[in-house]
Amino acid sequence: MTRADRPDPGDLDLQKQVCFALYAASRALTALYRPVLDRLGLTYPQYLVMLVLWERGPTSVKALGESLQLDSGTLSPLLKRLEAAGLVDRARDPRDERSVVVSLTPSGDRLREQATGIPRAIAEATGVPASELASLRDTLRKITEVATATPDKETT
């Protein structure tokens, strides 16, 4: 709070921006996953959906969206592709016909075994110590929490 909020031209330096570092790192890490996931026939977002299903079993589209911070505009077509691949089933919840429950097929369940070693392999490939990765993850979670909690902090 010294003499802040006077815009510094240097602020527009691409390399100084955390947001760009985040954007670049996210794509780079996803690219690391790609050849591995290709063997499972999954894209990275599809893999995230499978992670939730492997962990929690049958899950509604709404709950999937809350876990992954994705809306139905993204999930609906993605789940349709997973269903076409024979990995998941979709069915209306008889107790609430608005809700669609996604569950694993036997084929989707079996895929779990092939996925078990992936996270560790990727973590090691980055060459960053596990402790540093853990603190990185915590900082990222803090940022995500603040950023998503903010409805629209407009000073107008």
Partner DNA sequence: TGATGTTTAGTTGTGCGCAATCTAAATGCT
Partner DNA sequence: AGCATTTAGATTGCGCACAACTAAACATCA
By the criterion CB under 7 A, which residues form the site for DNA? 23, 27, 30-31, 34, 43-46, 60-63, 65, 69-81, 90, 95-101
d(CA 17, CA 25): 12
Q: Which of 2, 5, 84, 131 binds a copy of itself (CB under 8 A)?
A: 5
How many Å apart are CA 27 and CA 7, to the nearest integer?
A: 30
Nearer to DNA, 6 or 27 (CB): 27
Would you state the torsion angle of the CA atoms of residues 40, 42, 43, 46, taken in this order, to the nearest 10 degrees?
-130
93: three-class secondary structure by DSSP: strand
Stretch that binds a copy of itself, among 48-56, 79-87, 91-99, 101-109 (CB under 8 A): 48-56
Among 3, 95, 98, 153, binds a copy of itself (CB under 8 A): 153
Place of tokens 């790192």: 25
Distance CA 49, CA 70 (A): 10
What mask of x and - would describe binding to a copy of itself in positions 83 to 122, judged by CB under 8 A?
A: -----------------------------x--xxxxxx-x
